[in-house]
Chain A
Amino acid sequence: MVEYKISDIEYRSRKFEVRCTIFGFWRLKFEKGETMIIPLKKILLVEDNPNDVELTMEALAENNIANAVDVASDGEEALDYLYYKGKFSSRPPGNPGVILLDLKLPKINGLEVLGKIRSDAALKFIPVVILTSSNEESDLTAGYSLGVNAYVVKPVDFSEFVKAIRTLGLFWAIINEPPPGCGK
């Protein structure tokens, strides 16, 4: 069993070490030697710019959580993913534990995808994090009024970006309890 050490974090007021398995589970190793295995929550990355996809994947890999990520390269693909259509028609069932959503996307933009997700009873509980380079008030307002769970501005500095992805990944993939039906 190959395990990657991710980070030492506090979880439910206990210090533990997060290890990622390639079998689709997170292994949390607590100080006193206890371990806890939790199912890997899928992360759906919706991003059209291949450079940004590569950088995000690299940042996820730096944090050893890249194997938990599926990529949709535009809004339409994101909806295909969620509705098991097109190239995602045979993907394993289950909603992602979190969606990292870019706003400026071809065909169907990020806010429209968010709107679709929030208006579908089967999808509306999926945590969505907007991951974009725009910190304009109008985008923030639109995002939050559509019920986004978090709004993260991508830093230009890659080391900062890696830190941001670590925080995001740990929080949404491990610490946060996803709504029923998500994350498997």
Chain B
Amino acid sequence: MNIDIRTLVIVLGITHIIQIVVFYYQYMINKNYRGPGWWLMWSAAEVTGFAFMLLRQIPPIQKIAIIIQNSMIILGVIFLYIGIMRFFDKRENRVIVVPVFTVFFVSLLYFLYVNDDFQIRGIIISAALAFVSFLTAHGLFVNKTPSVSSSANFTAAIFLAHGVVFTFRAVMLLKDTSVNIFEPTSLNIVMYLDALIVSILWTFCFIVMINQRLNAETREAKEHFEKLNAELEQRVIERTAELEAAGKELEAFVYSVAHTMRSPLRALDGFSYILRKNYSDKVDAEGNRLLNSIRSGAHEINGLISDMLDLLRVSSGDIKFSTVNMTGLVNSVYNEIVPPDIREKITFSAGSMPDAVCDPAMMRQLWRNLISNAVKFTLPKKERRIETGCRMENGENIYYIKDTGVGFNPEYTHKLFGIFERLHKTDEFEGAGMGLAIVRRIVSRHGGRVWAEGKVGEGATFWFTIKKSRAEKHEA
């Protein structure tokens, strides 16, 4: 076999330059892995080493070149070792590495300057290379993680083989007498071929190791997130159930408080009634007035309790959808809640409105509140008109009720729908200020919007929509 060693060295150099590019990319892509950076340094050290190997032929710098070349080659494999340990998130064993390198370096200097012996230098270098290779193989075997075990084992095997080759070379050099490293002896050829093959294989192995580790971590992350997701879902279910239970409990509490409060109210009202009736000879006009105040107070609290229960019911009750004839509903609510003598004073017109898919009981309550409000605030005026209807805008039905009543100051529009918000004094208009809060709650539970327009003394208009998509879903 006629192989020119210099050509082999150049090929090795080029291989290491390609490796520099490969490991540079690996280093940039996998910055969260420690290791590729050291492998990049390995390639760089090898390139430098082989460059100086070629410079050995220039006599004035021969010795310096020899020192740099051999140190770089040994440093290179030490970087490999460090890189592998760091890749497994372990520390390199400095207690071994530092003395070995020191001994190698000192003896290299000794057998170069003091006792220039090419043969012993070759043995030292081969022994050092073999030692670091065995150390690396051991590091791989001991520290490998299950996810990369196959590629780690393969890499370790290559290091072992490399170590064996250089042990063999060290042993062979004991008898060898050739003085030129470029001489194409079979020993030299084996060494260079080995260096070429293992450096390519290592590059390949490291990339596979990185790949396997990435795959394993991706899979773990996926499993972790799936587990986390399932846990989260479970937690949401549990928390929702807890919240629902707490809500139910609170609701039951409010109901029971409301009903318990009604009993003393009945006593207040009933006994003042009895007092006024059975002791009419002892109670004078002022006494009667005071008794009436007690009764109206009791009625007021009772109304408040009813409103609160209504609000609670529309807030937490289930929505049962069905198609509601709005025109019919408005007329029936109007006749139900407005006594005939008051109806005579009001011009009421319910324009024809499209049917709505909604909760019939809630919709009735909504109209009851809107209509009673309209009637309440229209009565003091001379012109008393109330009109209901529906407009179609952007494919949306907008229901409205318009009155010619006392209206409101547009500045306070935002307060209209609040709980216990009143824009009029209690002695002007009765009511606790819950009606529009209930209206807003019903509308929002139907996924709609409610708003109002008005001016002081010029009437008010209330508009509301209910969500259409839900209605269609229901029909489908």
Using CB atoms and an 8 Å cutoff, list the residues of chain A in contact with chain B. 49, 51-52, 55, 58-59, 104, 132-134, 136, 154, 156-159, 161
A-chain residues with CB within 8 Å of residue B273 when the two chains form the complex: 158-159
A51 and B255 contact, CB distance less than 8 A: no
B271 / chain A contacts, CB cutoff of 8 Å: 51, 55
Report whether A49 and B263 are in contact in the complex, using a CB–CB cutoff of 8 Å.
Answer: yes
Pull 9 A–B residue pairs with CB atoms less than 8 Å apart, ordered by A. A52-B263, A55-B271, A58-B270, A58-B274, A134-B255, A154-B262, A156-B299, A157-B269, A158-B266
Contact B259 A156 (CB under 8 A): no
B263 touches A133 (CB 8 A): yes
Assuming the A-B contacts A134-B255, A156-B299, A156-B302, are A161 and B274 also in contact, with contact meaning beta carbons closer than 8 angstroms in the complex? no
In the complex, which of the residues A55, A104, A134, A136 contacts B266, with contact meaning CB atoms closer than 8 Å? A55
How far, in whole Å, are A49 and B259 apart by their CA atoms in the complex? 13
Measured CA separation A157–B268 after assembly (Å) = 10
B65 within 8 A of A: no
With an 8 Å Cβ cutoff, the count of chain B residues facing the other chain is: 17
Answer yes or no: B265 CB below 8 A from chain A CBs.
yes
The verdict on A51 contacting B269 (CB below 8 Å), with A133-B259, A156-B302 known, is no
Contact A156 B262 (CB under 8 A): yes
Question: Most chain-A CB neighbours within 10 Å: which of B255, B267, B271, B298?
Answer: B267
**Could you list which residues of chain B lie within 8 angstroms of chain A, going by C-beta atoms?**
255, 259, 262-267, 269-271, 273-274, 295, 298-299, 302
Query: Quick check: A55 and B262 within 8 Å, CB to CB?
Result: no
Q: Is the CB of A133 within 8 A of B266?
A: yes
Q: How far is the CA of A134 from the CA of B266 in the complex (A)?
A: 13
Given contacts A58-B274, A156-B299, A156-B302, A161 and B266 within 8 Å (CB-CB): yes
- Measured CB to CB, the closest approach of chain B to A164, in angstroms, equals 12
Given contacts A58-B274, A136-B255, contact A158 B263 (CB under 8 A): no
What residues of chain B lie closer than 8 Å to A104, measured between beta carbons?
Answer: 259
B266 touches A51 (CB 8 A): yes
B277 — nearest CB in chain A belongs to which residue?
A62
Cβ of B255 and Cβ of A156 under 8 Å apart? no
Q: Cβ of A161 and Cβ of B270 under 8 Å apart?
A: yes
A158 touches B269 (CB 8 A): yes
Q: Which of A49, A52, A55, A104 has the most CB of B within 10 A?
A: A55
- Cα–Cα, bound, A58→B269 (Å): 13
Q: Which residues of A contact B295 (CB under 8 A)?
A: 158
Decide: A156 near B274, CB < 8 A? Known: A51-B266, A52-B266.
no
* Majority SS at the chain B contact face: helix
For A159, the chain B residues whose CB sits under 8 A away are: 273
A51 to B255, CA, bound (A): 21
CA distance A49 to B274 in the complex (A): 18
Known A133-B266, A156-B298, A158-B266; 10 more pairs at CB < 8 Å: A51-B263, A51-B266, A52-B266, A55-B271, A55-B274, A58-B274, A133-B263, A154-B266, A157-B302, A158-B295
Smallest beta-carbon distance B129→chain A, Å: 87
Residue among B264, B274, B298, B302 with max Cβ neighbours from chain A (10 Å): B274
Q: How far is the CB of B181 from chain A (nearest CB, A)?
A: 99
Q: Is there contact, CB below 8 Å, between A55 and B270?
A: yes
Q: How far is the CA of A154 from the CA of B259 in the complex (A)?
A: 10
Of residues A52, A133, A159, which shows the largest number of chain B Cβ atoms within 10 Å of its Cβ? A133
Distance in angstroms between the alpha carbons of A104 and B256 in the assembled complex: 10
CB A109 to nearest CB in B, in angstroms, measures 13
Q: A58-B270, A157-B299 are in contact. Are A133 and B262 (CB under 8 A)?
A: yes
Q: Are B274 and A51 in contact (CB under 8 A)?
A: no
Please measure, in the bound complex, the distance between the C-alpha atom of A151 and the C-alpha atom of B107, giving whole angstroms: 110
The CA-CA distance from A157 to B298 in the complex, in Å, is 8
Query: In the docked arrangement, what's the CA distance between A52 and B266, Å?
Result: 8
Q: What's the minimum C-beta distance from A162 to chain B, rounded to whole angstroms? A: 9
- A51: chain B residues within 8 A (beta carbon): 263-264, 266-267, 270-271
CA distance A51 to B267 in the complex (A): 6
Contacts of B298 in A (CB 8 A): 156
- Leading 9 A-B pairs by shortest Cβ distance: A158-B270, A51-B267, A55-B270, A156-B302, A158-B273, A133-B262, A134-B259, A133-B259, A158-B269
CA distance A55 to B298 in the complex (A): 15
Specify the chain A residue showing the minimal Cβ separation from B302: A156
A51 to B263, CA, bound (A): 8
Shortest CB distance B143–A (Å): 67
Bound-state CA distance A158–B271 (Å) is: 8
What is the CB-to-nearest-CB distance from A40 to chain B, in angstroms, rounded to a whole number? Answer: 25
Given A156-B302, A157-B299, A158-B273, decide whether A52 and B259 contact each other with a Cβ distance below 8 A: no
Residue of A nearest to B306 (CB): A156
- Residues of chain A within 8 A (CB-CB) of B259 are 104, 132-134, 136
Q: In whole angstroms, how far apart are the Cα atoms of A157 and B272 in the complex?
A: 11
In the assembled complex, the Cα of A59 lies from the Cα of B267 at a distance in Å of: 12
Give the docked Cα–Cα distance between A161 and B274 (Å). Answer: 12
Q: CA separation between A58 and B270, bound complex, in Å?
A: 9
Q: Which residue of A lies closest to B269 (CB)?
A: A158
Task: State whether A55 touches B267 (Cβ < 8 A).
Answer: yes
**CA of A134 to CA of B228, assembled, Å:** 46
Q: What separation, in Å, do the CA atoms of A158 and B298 have in the docked complex?
A: 11
**Residues of B close to A132: CB separation below 8 A:** 259
Contact check: which of A52, A134, A136 meets B267 at CB < 8 Å?
A52
**B190 nearest CB across to chain A (Å):** 93
Which of B269, B298, B299 has its CB near the most chain A CB atoms (within 10 A)? B269
Residues of A within 8 A of B262 (CB): 133, 154, 156
The residues of A that contact B302 with a CB separation of less than 8 Å are: 156-157
